[in-house]
Amino acid sequence: MVGLFSATQVIISIVLILLILLHSGKDAGLSGAFGVGTGAGPFGGGSLVERNLDRWTIFFAILFVANVILLLKIE
């Protein structure tokens, strides 16, 4: 059982790292290479792609924390 959660933790970590790298920072960053864009949308919240990227990053961050807690409880 611990092996399953450990493998899941590795996968979640890799996905979370990739999602964080896709975010645009001060400069366009790595996200500019994939066409995410840096301009704010008409409502000031960024483009739809940026908002979805934020949502996916938060989702995987919560999964990461939940999986760490499960791993600590199991061991």
Lowest mean pLDDT among 13-17, 31-35, 44-48: 31-35
Q: Is the pLDDT assigned to residue 6 strictly greater than 90?
A: yes
Q: Which residue has the higher pLDDT, 45 or 60?
A: 60
Give exposure, 36-72, as e/b (b: 16+ Cβ within 10 Å).
beeeeeeeeebeeebeebeeebeebeebbeebeeeee
pTM for this entry = 0.72
Would you say residue 43 has pLDDT above 50?
no
